[in-house]
Structure 1
Amino acid sequence: MEFDVTARRRDAHGSEARCKQAVIPLDTDPAGNTDAFNPAELLLAALSACMIKGIERVTPILKFRLRGVEVRVHGVRRDVPPRLESIVYEIVVDTDEEDRRLDLLHDNVRKFGTVFNTVAPGTQLSGTLRRRRPGEEGPPS
């Protein structure tokens, strides 16, 4: 499997990335741009998408029933050399499945995610997968 993305500068305030029929605005302005993801945020979004895609891929195989998923990611940047020093994630699953099945789902996310396994060796990557609590704000979808 191979992937191709093309990015181009739009102006001094932003760029865009294209893949297939999709376009993503990029924050490449040194002053920042609140209407787009900066490169570090884009990496965290890719990691989040990888986790959700892995869950979507494995739930039919495991016959795992869920109503929704939300991934929350926090990255800490180190200045010298510039890099993401650590990434902590929380996967919140809206499900009635047993705890052991949640553990199995989390194991699959960690073992079979392309972006997850690319990022993990180069940073302190850790996190949890938990069930959504009754009444918790912002239902995953």
Structure 2
Amino acid sequence: MTFDVRARRVDAHGSEAACKSAHLVLDTDLAGRVDAFNPAELLMAALAACMIKGIERVTPILHFRLQGVEVRIHGVRQDVPPRMEEIRYEILVDTDESESRLELLHENVQKYGTVFNTVSPGTRLHGQLRRA
């Protein structure tokens, strides 16, 4: 499986990324932008999307019933060297499933997520999955 993304500088205030038929405005302005994701926020959004997609993938296999999912992520950046030092997450699942089934779902998110498994070796990545 391969993936392709194109990104280009629009001007000194921003850039854009494209993939398939989708386009994203990127915050590449040194002063920052409130209407676009900066690179660290994009990383965290990718992690959140990975978690949600993983849940979508395993719920039919596990016969896990849910009504909704929300992921909250908080990242801490260190300056020297610049990197994400820590990422904490909370996955909120709207479900009537048992606590043991919630733990099983969380294990699957941690074990089979492509972005999760890419980020976790180089960052303190920890969190919880709980009932909404």
Find the counterpart in structure 1 of residue 94 from structure 2: 94
Find the counterpart in structure 2 of residue 27 from structure 1: 27
- Alpha-carbon distance in 2 for matches of 1:4, 1:51: 20
Q: Secondary structure at the match of 2:65?
A: coil
Indicate the RMSD between aligned Cα atoms, in angstroms. 0.3
Find the counterpart in structure 2 of residue 60 from structure 1: 60
Q: Secondary structure at the match of 1:92?
A: strand
Q: CA deviation at 1:30?
A: 0.2
Given the two structures, how large is their TM-score scaled by the length of structure 2?
1.00
Find the counterpart in structure 2 of residue 13 from structure 1: 13
**Aligned pair count?**
132
- Alpha-carbon distance in 1 for matches of 2:76, 2:119: 14
Percent of residue pairs bearing the same amino acid type = 75
| 1:44-96 Cα distance to aligned partner (Å, 9 max, x none) | 00000000000000000000000000000000000000000000000000000
Find the counterpart in structure 1 of residue 129 from structure 2: 129
- Alpha-carbon distance in 1 for matches of 2:109, 2:131: 15
Unpaired segments of 5 or more residues in structure 1?
A: 133-141
Amino acid in the other structure paired with 1:57: R
Q: CA deviation at 1:6?
A: 0.2
- Alpha-carbon distance in 1 for matches of 2:111, 2:66: 20
- Alpha-carbon distance in 1 for matches of 2:32, 2:114: 29
Find the counterpart in structure 1 of residue 115 from structure 2: 115
Once superposed, which parts of structure 1, at least 4 consecutive aligned residues long, lie more than 2 Å away? none
Q: CA deviation at 1:97?
A: 0.2
Given the two structures, how large is their TM-score scaled by the length of structure 1?
0.93
Find the counterpart in structure 1 of residue 38 from structure 2: 38
Q: CA deviation at 1:116?
A: 0.1
- Alpha-carbon distance in 1 for matches of 2:8, 2:55: 32
Amino acid in the other structure paired with 1:12: A
Amino acid in the other structure paired with 1:97: E
